[in-house]
Amino acid sequence: MELDKLLEEIERQRYEMTKHGMSKGLDDKETVKISQELDKLLNQLYLLTIKRTKIG
């Protein structure tokens, strides 16, 4: 995934998690699922950043 698209998706997931968490609670199953998806995206960003740091 391209960096720009990844960053956009991270921001979208953050928004969704915050919105859902505020309405349904932080321990709601869907909020936790969104949080886990966000974690995966953040891990992708970390790995991409590490690769770019080693290359450049």
Distance, CA of 50 to CA of 12 (rounded, Å): 23
Each residue of 1-56: pLDDT tens digit?
Answer: 789 999 999 999 999 999 999 999 999 999 999 999 999 999 999 999 888 888 76
| Residue 18: predicted pLDDT | 97
Domain span at 14? 3-30+38-55
- Report the domain count for the chain: 1
Task: State the pTM of this model.
Answer: 0.88
Task: Give the pLDDT score at 54.
Answer: 81
Cβ atoms of 37 and 13 within 8 Å: the answer is yes
Task: Quote the pLDDT of residue 56.
Answer: 61
